[in-house]
Amino acid sequence: MNIVLIGPRGVGKSKLSRALSKATGLPSVSTDSVIVYENGGVSIPKYVEKNGWKKFRELEYSVLKKLENAEGIVLDCGGGILFDLDDDGNEILSERKLALLRKIGRIILLEKDIEELIAKVEGDKTRPDLSKTKEYSEILTRRLPQYQRSAHFKIDTTGLRKEEITEKILFWLKGR
């Protein structure tokens, strides 16, 4: 069984994937880390700056295709993993990536207070700049229904420690 973590940037997917890995003994795999590795160490902000968001979304899809038959992993997905771009450059739900994520494992949405998320990612140079297109709060508001519709389980992480979140997820998984 695989655990798939989705949610907006800054919600704590990477930290939680490591905590779940430790608790379950399953290796943690990050889609973003695989992308960086496959591009010779080029950071995601540099990749997006050079190639654009549309090509980056295609790269995410190719990584998911490689992981579709993985067994026994905790998958930490980038914040935009559920999305592709239409011909006009607008974000749309990626049915093809969602289908792969569902094939890979149980999708768990991590949610957090929007103000906390904005404060956490503001000025973070390790992440691609979103401000050139839309305000982060606008992106979060637009993406939230798609995140919620796609998840098998949702957990609001606001005010919770990673140990508490891990415990809630493991409890839910036991009931499956």
Does the annotation list 102 as a binding residue? no
For residue 106, is pLDDT > 50? yes
Identify the CA nearest to 63 among candidates 103, 18, 33, 105: 33
Does the annotation list 127 as a binding residue? yes
Q: Range of 151's domain?
A: 3-174
Query: Average pLDDT, stretch 103-107?
Result: 97
User: Regarding beta strands 3-6 and 106-111, do their DSSP bridges make them parallel or antiparallel, or are they unpaired?
Assistant: parallel
Percent of the chain with pLDDT over 70: 91
Does the annotation list 11 as a binding residue? yes
Give the confidence band of 114 by pLDDT, cuts at 50, 70, 90. confident
Helix, strand, coil % in the chain, rounded to nearest 5? 50, 15, 35
Does the annotation list 13 as a binding residue? yes
User: Are the C-beta atoms of 6 and 74 separated by less than 8 Å?
Assistant: no
Residue 46: its pLDDT value, please? 94
What is d(CA 40, CA 21) in angstroms, rounded to the nearest whole number?
26
Q: Could you report the per-residue pLDDT of 12-58, keeping only the tens digit for each? A: 999 999 999 999 999 999 999 999 999 999 999 999 999 999 999 99
Any idea what the CATH number is for the domain that residue 53 is in?
3.40.50.300
Query: Average pLDDT, stretch 88-105?
Result: 96
Does the annotation list 62 as a binding residue? no
Tokens standing for 81? Answer: 């993993």
User: Are the C-beta atoms of 1 and 106 separated by less than 8 Å?
Assistant: yes
Spell out the residues 6+ positions from residue 100 whose beta carbon is closer than 8 angstroms to its own.
61, 64, 65, 67, 68
Does the annotation list 29 as a binding residue? no
* Number of independent structural domains in the chain: 1
Query: Average pLDDT, stretch 147-165?
Result: 95
Does the annotation list 149 as a binding residue? no
Helix (H) / strand (E) containing 104: helix 95-104
What is d(CA 89, CA 85) in angstroms, rounded to the nearest whole number?
5
Q: Could you report the per-residue pLDDT of 53-70, keeping only the tens digit for each? A: 999 999 999 999 999 999
Q: Could you report the per-residue pLDDT of 130-148, keeping only the tens digit for each? A: 454 457 788 888 999 999 9
Q: Which residue has the higher pLDDT, 88 or 136?
A: 88
User: Are the C-beta atoms of 151 and 107 separated by less than 8 Å?
Assistant: yes
The region of weakest confidence among 126-130, 134-138, 158-162 is 126-130
Residue 118: its pLDDT value, please? 76
User: Are the C-beta atoms of 3 and 76 separated by less than 8 Å?
Assistant: no
Termini Cα distance of the chain: 11
Q: What angle do CA 27, 168, 121 make, to 5 degrees?
A: 70
Does the annotation list 12 as a binding residue? yes
Task: Tell me the chain's radius of gyration from C-alpha atoms.
Answer: 15
